[in-house]
Structure 1
Amino acid sequence: MPRSPVAAAWDLLHRFVPRGAVLLSTLTFVGYFLGLVRERILSQSFGIGDELDAFKAAFLIPELLFSVIVASGLAAPFIPIFMALKRDEGEPAAHAFGRSVLTLAVLAMGVVSLVLFIIAPITADIAAPGFGPEKRALYIDLFRVMCFTQVLFAGSMALGEVLVAERRFLFYGLAPLLYNLGIVIGTVLLVDVIGIFAPAVGAMLGASMHLGIRLIGISRTTFRPWPRLHLRTPAIREFFRLLLPKTGGGPIDPLTFIFFTNLASTMAVGSVTVIDQARNFQSLPVSLIGVTFALATFPTLAARYAARDRSGFTALVVRNSLVIAFLTVGAAAGLIILGPFGIDLLLGGGAFGPDDVVRLAQVLAVFALSVPFESLGHVLSRAIYATHHTLWQVGATVVGFAVTVVTALALAPSLGVLAIPLAFALGSAVRCVLLVAVLVWRIRRMPDAPDGPLESASVA
């Protein structure tokens, strides 16, 4: 009996994308929709102005330090060590390691958040030096609320790594949705009572829900998140050894948008919010296409490198790069053509008037130029990681960041806020070219396959 076209298409999809990635991609899309609902409510409640500028800026430094200390470090080393311990020494050893990392992440972020709370006025001079006295005071108050959310995220991030290791993708992927939902609930219920502090309280609620849903997922496993801190173990030493190169390039993305906020704060009122909202639209195709393909192909790339299958490794990189390029060029064109209509539909109304729609659409159209380059950067970076190399990937990222900064500063006097997305597109393109060069070098150095049949690699 011939197979249905739907079944054939589903099998073709799973040749490239594992089922976990399909679920996560779907949840990511729903999460972006909730994010747009969040932005619509914020825009209609406050418009593009001083209050929303201060609210957006208050996130930047706490999120940067969270990315450096917790997120970027956990992403690479945790799961390989956890799974190796589970296989070689048993589940109790893996769980003991997981509890130590969880405790360490929460303690580290707790100390950092306390310090940030105390030095909040100093951070205003870094994140938003162009803010006036009243706007600066509002930023400081909102910033101190944001410090508490990062402690909750630290615990949730560590638990999320355990969920991925245990293949509990549903509970992992639901967390970002609930975070956005918390901001929406807080804003709708409290905006008439406490104004711009309503979404800040909503962020606290959302972070609590983010952690809560992952605790529910953890309760369905045998892992128990009790505090434990044993640092003098081989597993923890290996964790720190792998963490250092990963964290070296981790701050670049947050630093890029701190720089954008810093520069935008010296421009017309609302520039900070416009950059933030345009980035939210631009990052959707990057996440759904670039990030998803990169995550889905990473295990296969690693397996082919381990098997010394140079031709298979190269073919997979080329095929996926071509598919990503085709899809993201189309997505970029869609953002440029349909951007004004989508912005008006999703954000228009209330305090967000027609002039705001036009202004945001112009910035988004320039931001769209970076979609293919940023998306390709994800799969190229994973391919380099698969060759057991990180140094030059970080170097390419640093050079791309430098190009972005220099270009934005050079063009800002003549182009205004449009200089920021244009500089980001150029920096992303330079980074992409450098990553290709590094990857070609790594492929040429790949060992030849041994004589005889290769072992088949199992890919999750």
Structure 2
Amino acid sequence: MQRIFDIYTKKRTFFRGSGILAFTTVLAYAMGLLRDRLLAHAFGAGSALSAYEAAFVVPDLILNIFVAAALSSAFVPIFSDVLNSGSRDDSDTFVSSVLNGSLLVVLVAGIVAFIFAPQISHAIVPGFDQAARHTYIMLLRLLLLSPILFAISNTMGSILVTQERFFWYGMASPLYNFGTVIGIVFLGARWGIMGVAVGTLLGAVFHLSARLIGIMRHGFSYRFTLRWSDYYRRFLRLMAPKMFGQPVDQLTAFGFTAIASTISAGSIVVFNFAQNFQSMPISVIGITLATTAFPALARAGSQRDSKEFWHQISFTVKTILIIAIPSAIAMYLLRHFIIGLIFGGGEFSAEAVNATAATLGVFTLSIVTESITQLLARAFYSLKNSITPVVIALVGLGIAIGSGYLFSRTMGVPGLALGFFIGSLMKVIVLSILLKFEAQKKLQN
């Protein structure tokens, strides 16, 4: 009877967390769409908005490589070990060391980028004229404050994920976009694009505030320390492969963009618009369910509980399939209506609508595979293995770009989406096989 009650409690916690994250993800997408429409209406496709968009490249790179990579793969499994076998002092010391180490690296990288912003501008925006370049440099230097705020916020968010407290974790993203909306509406008219950047920083403050509200009940006690404990050394070892593999997404985008540029005028826009629509169900379904399952997988890995580990994998995969397959079918059937409704009219021709809809139709194949990949990667992280997902992602990148190039010669832009699916399918198959062997080594039968 107790086992039945435990299973019911775990499933209720899983679905409650998934529901919260799905709601906040959709809310963030809606707020992001409002932000983009307001930006387009206020600034058009001019140099000011181009400078604003380009100014995110370096801050995002700093954040993704030095903070997001570490926290997404290494924090939850190691922090679960701390909670399972360590003391409260160990917990506070570990979190403080992670936070202080992240801040130190981000500060150093930010200072270097601030000093060399003029030189960076020649690499990032070589085609800008002098006025646009000056705007870019000012925006870049201002937005370099954001990785500092996000380093703190993401560390607090990782604690919330480990503790399975998802509301304030999830609310951070829509609040971030809301800050930019405030900047556009209330500051853009007075300060121009700089007002929008100030609003973006305000959004980063909102992002951090949401996580801090959520962390209050945890009782975390910050310490000004950087202790090289066994937990912290294990954290660094686990994060290193993910940190070096973090540019895979950027390399994928670069590869497909390069191929699309050889097809026809507008192919890059068609590919990017179609992929943006494909990414939403992956975020709402795949990333949401994988994030919700991650703490349970990390606990099972920490306790070497094979039965609970595979139960969580099986249950989450079934849930993904039940939701993702109908969603993919619905998006496929409604692809022309969706693309026509959002982009039809104006300068976006009927031919472009049809090409984007056709590409989106092929992209729907990868909604299921990409969603499962999110779960499998976290399963490896929970077993303290961050190398395998990175290696397989690199192999998948090569297969996706290679097959995408071949298919694009006859199919056009939809061929790129087919190549993406083939690479994604390969990752699911190989990761599934390797996970079985990894679990046999790391878990008790």
Displacement of 1:355 = 7.3
From the superposition, tell whether residues 372 and 83 of structure 1 become closer, same or farther in structure 2 (CA, over 3 Å): closer
Stretches of structure 2 lacking an aligned partner (at least 5 in a row): 1-6
From the superposition, tell whether residues 84 and 375 of structure 1 become closer, same or farther in structure 2 (CA, over 3 Å): closer
Displacement of 1:303 = 6.1
Stretches of structure 1 lacking an aligned partner (at least 5 in a row): 1-9, 450-460
Displacement of 1:289 = 1.6
Alignment match, 2:93? 96
Q: Map of 1:172-251 to 2, 5 A cutoff?
A: 172-225=169-222, 228-251=224-247
Give distance in 2, aligned partners of 1:116 and 1:220: 37
Which digits, 9 at most, give the CA deviation of each residue in 1:314-341, with x for residues without a partner? 5654554354235323322322332443
Q: Map of 1:132-151 to 2, 5 A cutoff?
A: 133=129, 137=133, 142-151=139-148
Give distance in 2, aligned partners of 1:355 and 1:190: 38
Matching residue's letter, 1:289: I
Q: Aligned to 1:290, which of 275, 286, 289?
A: 286
Preserved CA contact (<8 Å) 1:328 1:371? yes
> Which stretch shifts more, 144-153 or 312-321?
312-321
Q: Map of 1:194-343 to 2, 5 A cutoff?
A: 194-225=191-222, 228-260=224-256, 277-301=273-297, 317-318=313-314, 320-343=316-339
Displacement of 1:36 = 2.2
Which digits, 9 at most, give the CA deviation of each residue in 1:403-432, with x for residues without a partner? 234345566677776565444333222222
> Which stretch shifts more, 438-447 or 303-312?
303-312
Displacement of 1:181 = 0.7
* TM-score, scaled to structure 1: 0.77
From the superposition, tell whether residues 269 and 181 of structure 1 become closer, same or farther in structure 2 (CA, over 3 Å): farther
Displacement of 1:179 = 0.7
Matching residue's letter, 1:188: V
Alignment of 1:116 with 2:113, yes or no, is yes
Give distance in 1, aligned partners of 2:364 and 2:93: 45
Alignment of 1:392 with 2:388, yes or no, is yes
Give distance in 2, aligned partners of 1:218 and 1:312: 27
> Which stretch shifts more, 439-448 or 30-39?
439-448
Displacement of 1:348 = 6.7
From the superposition, tell whether residues 314 and 174 of structure 1 become closer, same or farther in structure 2 (CA, over 3 Å): closer
Alignment match, 2:4? none
From the superposition, tell whether residues 304 and 82 of structure 1 become closer, same or farther in structure 2 (CA, over 3 Å): closer
Alignment match, 1:33? 30
* TM-score, scaled to structure 2: 0.80
Give distance in 2, aligned partners of 1:215 and 1:88: 25
Q: How many residues align?
A: 438
Displacement of 1:351 = 8.1
Give distance in 1, aligned partners of 2:160 and 2:443: 35
Displacement of 1:74 = 1.8
From the superposition, tell whether residues 425 and 416 of structure 1 become closer, same or farther in structure 2 (CA, over 3 Å): same
Give distance in 2, aligned partners of 1:183 and 1:67: 20
Alignment match, 1:106? 103
Matching residue's letter, 1:391: I
SS in 2 for 1:78: helix
Displacement of 1:280 = 3.5
From the superposition, tell whether residues 213 and 239 of structure 1 become closer, same or farther in structure 2 (CA, over 3 Å): same
Which digits, 9 at most, give the CA deviation of each residue in 1:356-414, with x for residues without a partner? 75665455344333212211111222333445544332211110112234345566677
From the superposition, tell whether residues 30 and 198 of structure 1 become closer, same or farther in structure 2 (CA, over 3 Å): same
Alignment of 1:76 with 2:64, yes or no, is no
Displacement of 1:28 = 1.7
Alignment match, 1:430? 426
Displacement of 1:287 = 1.8
Preserved CA contact (<8 Å) 2:77 2:299? no
